[in-house]
Each structure stands twice: as C-alpha cells, then as structure tokens.
Amino acid sequence: MMKEYPKVAILILNWNNWVDTIECLESVFRINYPNYQVIIIDNGSTDNSVDKIIEWAEGKQEAMTPLPSHPLYYLSHPPSLKPILYLKYYKEEAENGGEDKKEIELSTKLINGKLKSMIIIRLDKNLGFSAGNNVGIKYVLKKNDYAYIWIINNDVVVEKDSLLNLVEEINKYSNVGIAGSKIYYYSEPKKINHAGGVIRQCIGISKHIGNGEYDINQYNSTKFVDYVTGASMIISIRLLRQIGYFYENYFLYYEETDLCVRARKKKWKILYVPYSKIWHKISNSPGNTTAIQNYYFTRNRLIFIKRNYPFYIFFAGLATLRYSIFNHLIKKRWKHLLYGLRGIIDFIINKENCLH
C-alpha cells in the first residue's frame, strides 16, 4: 500500500445521458482512493443534464439505474452521502484554470473528508470526446498539485479499488505514461470487453484483447500493451505536458489509441492493470455498428494511419474498403455504405467539420 497518494483528477464527459452519469458518479464516490477531484464536463447537453446532476449532488435526485436485481447494483447503491459540493465553470473559465478564490472556499467546506466535491464544466455545444476531454485536461494542467488524470466514460461503473490499483501500478514505473483497466460488459458482468489492446499497424485496426471471452483469470497479469481504451485510462501529467492533448479532429473514436501511439513514440509505455475493474454499458453483439459510427471508424482509421504510420496508408485504404464498404455492400446495408463512402471522401479532402 502506498504511503502517499498523488492527486488524481477524474474526468467524466457527459452528453445527453444524465441517468448513466449519475449511476457512474455514485460508483465513483465510493472508491477507496483518498485524494481525487471529480470533474464533469457537459458536452452541450440539451436534456437538462447539468440540472439533473446538480439535483443529484444536492440529494434531490437518486440514481435511477440499475434495478435492485442487477448484479452490479451494489456498485452504485445505496446512495452516497449528500450533499456533494460543486463549482460550475464555462469553457473559457475552465481552460484558464477556474477561480482560485472559489476553490479555496470550497475546500474549506470539506470537513474531515466526509463531504465530497466536484467541478462541473459546461460547454455550449458538443465538441466530441477529444475536444470535450481536452477542456478538462487544460483545466487540470493549469494546476500544480495533480499527478494523474483518470478518464472514464460516463456509462461505466467502477469497483471501489479500481483507481487505487491503477495508481499503485503506474507509480511503480518511471516510464509508464498511461495505464488502463480490465473492462467488462455491463450487460454480462463476467464477460470481458477489454484487457489491453493491440494495433495492426499495416491496416490501422486496433483490437481489444480478450473481447467477448468470459473471465477465467486468463488475463490477470499486468503487462505492457499497444493501447488502452478511453473508457478507463489514467494518464500521467508529465506525459501530457510533453506530448499534448487528444487530437481533436477525430471527434470520437481512435483518439485514445492515437494518444497511446504518440506516447510510445516518445519512449513511454502503456500498461494494462487487471485488478482495476470497471463495467461498460456497450453492446456485445457483433455487427451492431450504426451508420454514423461507420463514418467515424472509416475516416478516423485513415487519419490515424496517415498521422502515425504513413507508409501503410495504401494497405489501410484497402482494409477500409473491405470493412467499411464491401462488407456493407454484400449485406445491403445501404446507409452504412453511404456513410462509409462519405468518411473516405472527407478524409481525402481533409474535411474537419464532419457530422457534428
């Protein structure tokens, strides 16, 4: 067990999904790591997410999911101690580091660690995963007391020692810049979604290790991997000060893989930590990709290869035709096909103002 606990900023990005975010927060505020600050970034929601999250913080809105019969119910119930104190910032305020006076006043109200607090950053529009999280990262980098940023999706729930295990492992190495959790499917809590990742450079495909397998302790050793997913990744502040933020042109998909590759090019290592466990609300049914997702997977795969492995762009292009065009043509999924073609065209003309 560590003698000192470096301060961690926990970044959670919300967009029109306050129900999942509140369940996530209930699990986060149960963790046994003693030195953290929760930061919610609302990505221009139009469903009153910020108001609902504030009502929850004030004890006026309980978590609505899951049902008591769900095997993960214990991670978010019974309700955590309220009120949870909060400060609200807009984008420019956050990127400038917030207001020290307000934050000092907030810290004086946190009595003996019994009360908790969070920062809420409200954005005017949906900036996507990359730019949305970058606002939170810029806020943290204006401070001098953080050692790590833990980015988690808002549709996850976390085990109470998930952050502690991440920090303990990443702290053992001077050259590990990013570490990630073992991720399970929320709908099937014993089925693995992610146990680290590998990248097939020549075609620009990233693959989750263990995806779809039931956990029988086959991935219970820490190991160095090509990447970890942004559903749960802890990032060293030293790394971010060296290589910068998420690349914002992705909007969503491939941004965390890109960050991991950039880190490895600077001689940092990426670590998979099996005893940090989270559960993610994603579909475990193959072929369930939407047409819009096909657009971003198509375009961003090509951007990823061009940025990181340009010698393989021809092979990546062939792979893209297979996965994003021909597969959908055979299955007569016309909307997916059209969005895949649009993704290729937008990559060729270097269009940045995509579908958002």
Per-position b or e across 242-275, b if 16+ CB within 10 A of its CB:
eeebbbbbbbbbbbbbbbbbbbbeeebbbbbbbb
- Computed over every residue of the chain, the mean pLDDT equals 93
* Burial label, 15 (beta-carbon count in 10 A; 0-12, 13-18, 19+): buried
Q: What is the pLDDT of residues 49-87, one digit of tens each?
A: 999 999 999 999 999 999 999 999 999 999 999 999 999
Other C-beta atoms lying within 10 Å of the C-beta of residue 200: 14
Please indicate whether residue 110 or residue 6 has the higher confidence score (pLDDT).
6
Closest by CA to 225, choosing from 274, 191, 186, is 274
Residue spans per domain, the chain: 7-280, 291-348
| pLDDT, mean of residues 216-238 | 98
| pLDDT, mean of residues 335-346 | 92
Q: What is the pTM of this model?
A: 0.95
Q: What is the pLDDT of residue 243?
A: 97
| Collapsed DSSP state (helix, strand, coil) of residue 306 | helix
Contacts for 315 with CB less than 8 Å, ≥ 6 apart: 202, 203
Instruction: Tell me the torsion sign for CA atoms 132, 135, 138, 143.
Output: negative
Question: Do residues 308 and 259 touch, judged by C-beta distance below 8 A?
Answer: no
| Collapsed DSSP state (helix, strand, coil) of residue 176 | strand
Q: What is the pLDDT of residue 108?
A: 87
Q: What is the pLDDT of residues 254-266, one digit of tens each?
A: 999 999 999 999 9
Q: What is the pLDDT of residue 354?
A: 57
Fold of 7-280: Spore Coat Polysaccharide Biosynthesis Protein SpsA; Chain A (3.90.550)
Q: Are strands 223-224 and 232-236 parallel, antiparallel or unpaired?
A: unpaired
